[in-house]
Amino acid sequence: MSTTPPVLAAELAHAWADIQRHHPELPDLAAPESLIGESSSACGAELSFERLLHEAVHGIAAARGVRDTSRAGRYHNRRFLAIAEELGLDHPEDPHPSSGFSLVTMSPETKRRYRPTAERLQRALKAHLAATASDTKRSFRGPAARHGSSGGGVRVKAVCECGRNVRVVPSVLAQAPIVCGACKKPFQIVEAVTVGASS
C-alpha cells in the first residue's frame, strides 16, 4: 500500500506520463513512493522534475537492457550520458570522479517543453513539504511515517557496531534482526541508534 499522499502521487504520475509522451519507450512508474524519501548523492537527493528526468534516463536504460551505471549504481557512465542527452539533459564536460555524469541539468529547450508540468509538480512538492513540516515533535506519527514506508520499498540506512551500513525497508528489519557478518551485531536504523544513545 502506498504511503505517498494521493495528490503528490498523482502529480508524480502525471509528470512521468508527460515524459512518456515524448519518450514512449519509458516504462511506467510503478511506485511513486520510491522517489520520495529516497536520497542518493549520485542521482540527486532532492525530488524535482529534473530528478524525475534523471530517473527516466535510468528507466529507458533498463528498458533497453543498457548498463548505465557501475560502482553499485554510483558512477553514471557514457551510456547514461547518451540517453540523458536524448531526454534533453545537459552535463558537465568532464565526469565527476565518483559519480561520473550524474550531475545532469535540463537544457533551456527541455525547461520550455516541460514548464507547465514541472510547475505543477513543484506546487505539489511544496504542499507536501509544508504538510510534513507542520508536524511537531509532540505529534506521534508512528514508525511507518518516521521511516517513510510501511514496507512499500523506501529504504533507510541501518548500521552495525563496526560501522558497516545497509539500506533496508523498516518493516523487513522489524520482522527479524539482520546481523552483520563482520561484527556479528544486528543492524539498527540510524534514527533508532541515535535516540537510544541519547536516552
Q: Is a pLDDT exceeding 90 seen at residue 3?
A: no
Per the CB < 8 A criterion, the answer to whether 152 and 160 are in contact is: no
**Tens-digit pLDDT profile for residues 97-150:** 888 998 899 999 999 999 999 999 999 888 877 776 655 555 544 444 444 444
pLDDT per position as a tens digit, 50-73: 989 999 999 999 999 999 999 887
Q: Which residue has the higher pLDDT, 28 or 147?
A: 28
Share of the chain above pLDDT 70, in %: 72
pTM: 0.63
pLDDT range class, residue 5, cuts 50, 70, 90: low
Cell numbers 552535463 correspond to 91
Q: What is the pLDDT of residue 182?
A: 87
Tell me the Ramachandran region of residue 75: left when phi exceeds 0, alpha when psi lies from -120 to 50, beta otherwise: beta
Tell me the pLDDT tens digit for each residue of 162-195: 888 888 777 666 777 888 888 888 888 765 444 3
Residues 44, 96: contact at Cβ < 8 Å? no
